[in-house]
Amino acid sequence: NLLLVLSMQTCVERWVCENIIKLLREENTVPFMVRYRKELINHMDADAVRDVQMNYESLCSLSKKTQSIIQTLNKDGVLSNELEWDLRSCRSADELDHVYSPYKKGSKLTKARRAKALGLEEAASALMDSPHTLDLSTWIKPGTEGLSTVEEVATGVENILADMIAKDPETLTYVKTLCERSSITIQSSVSKTALKEKEQEKAAQAPPKTKAEQNKSKDFDKFHLYFDFTCNVQRIQPHQTLAINRGESLKILSVKVNVPDRVKTDFTTWCINNRWRPKTFARGELIALIRNAVEDSFKRLILPFLTRSYRTKLTCAAEKESIAMFARNLRTILLVGPVRGCVIMGVDPGFRHGCKIAILSQTSQIQHTDVLYLHNSGFATRQKEAEKLRYLLLKHSCTKVVIGNGTACRETESFFSDLIARRFFHPLDVSYCITNEAGASIYSVSPEAVKEMPELDPNLRSAVSIGRRVQDPLAELVKIDPKHLGIGTYQHDVSSGALKASLDGVVQECVSFVGVDINICSEMLMRHVAGLSAGRARSIAEWREQKGPFINREQLKLVKGVGPKSYQQCAGFIRLNPQTLHSIFFFFSNSMKASCDQPAAPEEKPVAKKGKGKSTANVPPSFNPLDQTCIHPESYHVAQKFLALVGGSVDQIGSAGLRGCVESKVRASSVEDLASTLQTTPETLKLVIDGLTQPPGFDIRQNFGQADFKRGIVSMNDLRVGTVLTGRVDNTTLFGAFVDIGVGRSGLIHKSKITMDKLPVSQRRRSLALGPGERVEVRVLDVDTERGRISLDLIRVLQ
């Protein structure tokens, strides 16, 4: 039963799993389900729904693979009822591969299959069912290999019985239970190959010359923690599993799973006395044969299966945790609050090729770009460049500088800090912040960047991207592949498909929940709205260019490629801001007027197109104030009824007066009672109330922290053990959190220091307690200036 297995794997109620599967089959997106179908999914968040979705897809894939194997084996004529039952009983790809591997084409015949080919399967059955009638000497066939002596016959029967034991579901379940009660450990050590290469290198007494040899030498030293490592499989950390896997793939580490001898002893006793006990009396030599078969099955077949099973289980768990870390980090950096309403200078620092700068207007339009040589030059040159910098900042009234954290970041920060300390930019109160520039260089040479900024040099495009990352992080970062953003760890050690699916889902979730103004958002941002694709986003952009701004959500139905399902999924996440609409109409009407003043071109006879276009009969021509809210069009009738109930109108949306009326009505009658009166669900009514009471232009990101701007600089040498500082989490890994404390080098809070009592109540149940962007108070535990490492202790999370 797929639903039952899915419920057990995800620890989600069966009815919820059933609803999620039904919604997925109806092509509903995760953001749509989480916001507009809460009652069907039991108020689960996007990560939990995605987990159910991934498990469901995995089970469907396993089911298809099982069916395909059964058809193949049936075609080959080797499928029996027992084998089909064994295949259908498998609940994981490992178990399926274990049962199917002996029958794969191209694989050499196993010992059991060779014995069966000699006709000894009947003797093996007789050994278990009626051993008192079994005489092995009657199966001897002189001159036939494998049947020429009693010993060969006995060996063949043993092999068949060992194979039966290793594939029996009840036996495998029992041995797994024994392992769960025992201390199973995973052990890693230096591989013989790596040790031999290291000894040869020492014997030569010469440093590695080629770059490949140097990298290999560095890799060897990275794994010193795992040269003699042993840990219980129940307690091993995800990052340790991924590190061991990487070391093994590089042939630096040798890994094995240790199963205690007691498991073998208990397993053998249980098999002989219970599951594989003969049904009638058996002579001593036959009992010995059964014992040999059990021991051979455990050593040759079951133990390798257990090892593969444990390694796969640990790897899957570690990958899942690592991907969850990536997703959590990505969500946090995408939802960083935008810095609106100010001119910003983006700086891409550099030494030899200079610092690339870009000044951006309050609406992220490029005002000026330049290259300044602030380093590796004489005093006079630096002074001249500083004067130029002051002129640009004063000219554009720019008080915010954003510096990328790449090469020459520290020196550029020091340059700005020195000028600010000297009040060089007076009367402007200039401050700066450091932002992560990961992916900016890759984006600057991408086709999207060329299309957006065709006249700019790629290096200057990087400066523009760095500035826009602070002005509107979400709109800028969606242009970059998430795997290039420098978040998480062990990116190349996890399934690329699963990682991409998870990160793409997070991007879609963030863009959808924040919402997009359909009349001004970029095509790139529009692609990530739930229900839209690259093709539909392009069609919407083309429609916008040809026919002017959208007046209401209903007009989306007129766009090519946006059918009823696409409209249902995207409508609630698309906004129409009346202020934006007014300004665009003004610009559009002026453009049309200017074009009308030009001499008219000779009219061409339109070419008749086959097929019918979309009808505009049912699309209203006026603006609907509800289109600026998070309320879905399918709930507009509920919103209208509720407004009538509280004595308000759509023109009052977001006003203090309407908010007061709504709050008094909710206090007088509960949401549940009001929902019953309006014949809707409490979840839908709560969403309607949010949409009507949130102020115009509401942005969920206003509750999240913005970039930190500062005016001074502190060096690593200024740190002392015991110093208490505040900082912002820069990156979260499986072994701890890196915190930017403003000294040019992030400090590490080891996961052992992130304890429940130091976290807010809302974060105590999260598996990943800290995320990028969170402000924390920390204490310095250790400063290693030679290695550039800072150890920190978490005091508390600042809210």
pLDDT tier at 345, thresholds 50, 70, 90: very high
Q: Over pLDDT 70: what percentage of the chain?
A: 90
Q: Which pLDDT score, from 0 to 100, does residue 108 have?
A: 64
Q: Which pLDDT score, from 0 to 100, does residue 69 have?
A: 92
267 burial (CB, 10 Å; 0-12 / 13-18 / 19+) is: buried
The residue-averaged pLDDT of 23-32 equals 95
685 touches 675 (CB < 8 A): yes
In order, the DSSP letters of 423-486 are: TTTTTS--EEEEE--TTHHHHHTSHHHHHHSTTS-HHHHHHHHHHHHHH-HHHHHTTS-GGGS-
The residue-averaged pLDDT of 29-53 equals 94
Could you report the per-residue pLDDT of 394-426, keeping only the tens digit for each?
999 999 999 988 888 888 888 998 899 889 998
Q: Which pLDDT score, from 0 to 100, does residue 205 have?
A: 63
Could you report the per-residue pLDDT of 428-462, keeping only the tens digit for each?
999 988 888 888 888 899 988 998 899 899 989 99
Top-confidence residue, 745 or 6: 6
User: CA 598 to CA 594: how far, in whole Å?
Assistant: 7
C-alpha angle 553/555/561, rounded to 5°? 105
CB neighbours (10 Å) of residue 181? 10
In the predicted model, is pLDDT for residue 765 greater than 50? no
Q: Which pLDDT score, from 0 to 100, does residue 701 have?
A: 81
In the predicted model, is pLDDT for residue 760 greater than 80? no
Mean pLDDT is lowest, of 17-26, 141-150, 212-221, 518-527, for 212-221
Could you report the per-residue pLDDT of 222-245, keeping only the tens digit for each?
888 899 999 999 999 998 999 999
In the predicted model, is pLDDT for residue 347 greater than 80? yes
pLDDT tier at 596, thresholds 50, 70, 90: low
In the predicted model, is pLDDT for residue 591 greater than 60? no
pLDDT tier at 610, thresholds 50, 70, 90: very low
pLDDT tier at 273, thresholds 50, 70, 90: very high
Could you report the per-residue pLDDT of 665-679, keeping only the tens digit for each?
988 888 999 999 999
pLDDT tier at 201, thresholds 50, 70, 90: confident
Q: Which pLDDT score, from 0 to 100, does residue 609 have?
A: 43
The residue-averaged pLDDT of 756-777 equals 68
Mean pLDDT of the chain: 86
In the predicted model, is pLDDT for residue 293 greater than 90? yes
Radius of gyration, alpha carbons of the chain: 34
Q: Which pLDDT score, from 0 to 100, does residue 529 have?
A: 95
Q: Which of 283, 316, 736, 660 is nearest to 488 (CA)?
A: 736
In order, the DSSP letters of 215-251 are: HHHHHHHHTGGGTEEEEETTT--HHHHHHHHHHHHTT
Could you report the per-residue pLDDT of 671-701, keeping only the tens digit for each?
999 999 999 999 999 999 999 999 887 888 8
Mean pLDDT is lowest, of 32-36, 183-187, 710-714, for 710-714
In the predicted model, is pLDDT for residue 465 greater than 50? yes
- Which amino acid belongs to residue 412? T
In order, the DSSP letters of 752-788 are: GG--GGGS-GGGTT-SS---TT-EEEEEEEEEETTTT
Q: What are phi and psi of 796, to 5 degrees?
A: -165, 165
In the predicted model, is pLDDT for residue 597 greater than 70? no
Q: Which pLDDT score, from 0 to 100, does residue 216 have?
A: 57
Q: What does the DSSP 8-state code read for residue 277?
A: -
Q: Which pLDDT score, from 0 to 100, does residue 294 have?
A: 95
The residue-averaged pLDDT of 604-632 equals 69
Cα–Cα distances in Å, from 797 out to 122, 609, 756, 777, 794? Answer: 70, 63, 11, 6, 8
For the record, the structure tokens of 37 come out as 């179908």
In the predicted model, is pLDDT for residue 602 greater than 50? no
Q: Which pLDDT score, from 0 to 100, does residue 104 have?
A: 75
Q: Which pLDDT score, from 0 to 100, does residue 526 have?
A: 94
In the predicted model, is pLDDT for residue 772 greater than 90? no
Top-confidence residue, 772 or 182: 182
Could you report the per-residue pLDDT of 311-344, keeping only the tens digit for each?
999 999 999 888 888 888 888 889 888 888 899 9
Could you report the per-residue pLDDT of 694-727, keeping only the tens digit for each?
988 788 887 666 666 555 656 677 788 888 877 8
In the predicted model, is pLDDT for residue 608 greater than 60? no
User: CA 78 to CA 592: how far, in whole Å?
Assistant: 76
